[in-house]
Structure 1
Amino acid sequence: MEDVFAIVAIFIALPWIVLHYITKWKTSASITTDDEVLLEELYNLAKRLDDRMDTVERLVASDNPEFRPARLVHNSEADNQQLRELEQMMAEKKGAL
């Protein structure tokens, strides 16, 4: 009886466990479509919040001339370059689909 148990453990149970965790490892290494949707929603939210911050800073700067936030002083090119690159990558991805 012990011999049968040992053979079953070596030839059936052990490969099943190894293959099970290999497939788990491969599937968890990629982003799911739900994750992509969530990332896109978070990106859109971050973009809206950035626009709102710009608006609030402009309003405060117009009321108080001494207020000069770094976002308005240096504005745009360096601040928005990463956002433009991300938007371009998202557009290319949507074009590929």
Structure 2
Amino acid sequence: MEEVLAIVAIFIALPWIILHYITKWKTSATITTDDEALLEELYSLAKRLDERMDTVERLVAADNPDFKSPRLIHDREIDNEKLRELDRLLAEKKGAHQ
């Protein structure tokens, strides 16, 4: 009787458990459309906030010539590369959905 239980456990229960969790892992690893919409909204909000910070820093620098921005240099090419890549990916994704 114990041998039968061991065989059932090895050949039925163990693969079932493994396949069950592989399926759970694959379904939870995907991003939903709600998540994509939230990410796009957060991205646009971050861009707007960055533009506002640039404006505030320009105004402060105009009033105080000794002001040194602790942030990244405005419109420095190396800083904008990742943003351009994100913009390109978003445009491709929107083109694919249409």
Q: Secondary structure at the match of 1:30?
A: coil
In structure 2, relative to structure 1, the CA distance for the partners of 1:5 and 1:62 (3 Å cut) is same
CA–CA separation in structure 2 for the residues paired with 1:10 and 1:70: 61
Q: Hey, what does 1:65 align to over in structure 2?
A: 65
Q: Hey, what does 2:26 align to over in structure 1?
A: 26
CA deviations 1:23-69 (Å, max 9, x no partner) are: 12322443333332232222122111101101110110121123243
Bigger drift between 23-32 and 13-22 goes to 23-32
TM-score, normalisation: structure 2: 0.73
Bigger drift between 45-54 and 19-28 goes to 19-28
CA RMSD of aligned residues (A): 2.5
CA–CA separation in structure 2 for the residues paired with 1:82 and 1:7: 54
Instruction: Please tell me the residue identity of whatever aligns with 1:91.
Output: A
Larger RCO: Structure 1 or Structure 2 (Cα < 8 Å, ≥ 6 residues apart)?
A: 1
User: Number of matched residues?
Assistant: 96
Q: Is the 8 A contact 2:60 2:67 kept in 1?
A: yes
Q: Secondary structure at the match of 2:31?
A: coil
Q: Percent identity?
A: 75
Provide structure 1 residue ranges, at least 5 long, that are not aligned to the other structure: none
Instruction: Please tell me the residue identity of whatever aligns with 1:61.
Output: A
Q: Secondary structure at the match of 2:66?
A: coil
Instruction: Please tell me the residue identity of whatever aligns with 2:9.
Output: A
